[in-house]
Amino acid sequence: MKIKNILIKAFLISTVLLGMQSCGGKQGGVRTLKLAHTLNTQHSVHKAMLLMAEKVKEKSGGKLELEVYHSAQLGTESQCLELLQIGSLAMTKVSAAVMESFAPSYKVLGLPYIFKNKEHMFNVQDGPIGKKILQDGEEAWLRGLCFFDAGSRSFYTKSNPIESPDDLKGLKIRVMKSITANKMVSAMGAAPMPISFGELYTALQQGVVDGAENNPPSFYLSKHYEVCKYYSIDEHSSVPDVLLISTVIWDRLSDEEKTWIQEAANECVPAQRKFWEESEAESLKAVQEAGVKVNYPKKEPFSERVSDMYDSYKSDPKIYNLIQEIRALD
């Protein structure tokens, strides 16, 4: 298996050397890195990426630049990840839930109600635990640079509000392609349906699913509120977004270039969190004005229904110890 992995990596590196100029080559003494994502220009993460690009240019004195491509201009989320792995794209943004398939430790970030509050969540992400998780994808050629706030996910449905987990029984709820998300929705009594976000609007319209779960800006910007008129703020999980860089590209950068990129990523995080907070308030107001009924069910019945998920990781010491570290952190 190790020999096979070495051969695969050798092939990927040879591929990237042929196409390096398009993603991280130097032209006229300036190295340009491409950063692509699927979000629109209104999203807080896109705004933060533009700020990061400014900081990289400033720190490097114009020697290093980021080109930011939005709205899936260079491909879907999955396609961007594949491009990172072969080094044909330098950076992208995905949900931390997507990273579960590449790095097991990311699972803990999607566990329901694992964070006590926003402050606790940011302490985890910004501290040693977060840094350890960000580096866990390097074997898959995906190095994490920072986490972006993606708020808390809650249920939205077409027919009735969700006041308790019992109201989810029998409903088909769209989830991300995440083992943790599947287990959580199943534990609450619903049938999880992994569907790509781009196909969800049609799936809701046609009754393929009865609802979904996401944060307020995603609910609003996707226009899912046109189909789902009930939004139940149970805040069952707070899965962050993660900014990734291809290790194929990273390993070709000088130490100075790496410092510029990492510092710029770190410095744009507080701004993104501020953008996010504003976007969240605006989105909730907008969907209510569009006729969505927003309710705030008690969280305890939901957290009790999924409490067994933590014990299920006792057979995996790495993940279980990580859970204990997070819970012990103030």
Domains present along the chain, CATH in parentheses = 2-148+241-271 (3.40.190.170), 153-238+280-328 (3.40.190.170)
Amino acid at 156: Y
What's the confidence (pLDDT) of residue 28?
A: 64
What's the confidence (pLDDT) of residue 26?
A: 66
- Cite the DSSP H helix spans in 173-254: 179-187, 197-205, 216-221, 247-250
What's the confidence (pLDDT) of residue 7?
A: 38
Any idea which residue has 């866990």 for tokens?
136
* DSSP run (H or E) holding 157: strand 153-157
* DSSP run (H or E) holding 33: strand 30-36
What's the confidence (pLDDT) of residue 25?
A: 62
What's the confidence (pLDDT) of residue 23?
A: 58
Output Rg (C-alpha) for the chain, integer angstroms: 20
What's the confidence (pLDDT) of residue 91?
A: 98
- Stated length of the chain: 330
Task: Tell me how far apart the alpha carbons of residues 230 and 173 are, in angstroms, rounded to a whole number.
Answer: 13
Instruction: Write out the chain's pLDDT in tens, 330 residues.
Output: 333 443 344 344 434 433 444 456 666 689 999 999 999 898 999 999 999 999 999 999 999 999 999 999 999 889 999 999 999 999 999 999 999 999 999 999 999 999 999 999 999 999 999 999 999 999 999 999 999 999 999 999 999 999 999 999 999 999 998 999 999 999 999 999 999 888 999 999 999 999 999 999 999 989 999 999 999 999 999 999 999 999 999 999 999 999 999 999 999 999 999 999 999 999 999 999 999 999 999 999 999 999 999 999 999 999 999 999 999 997
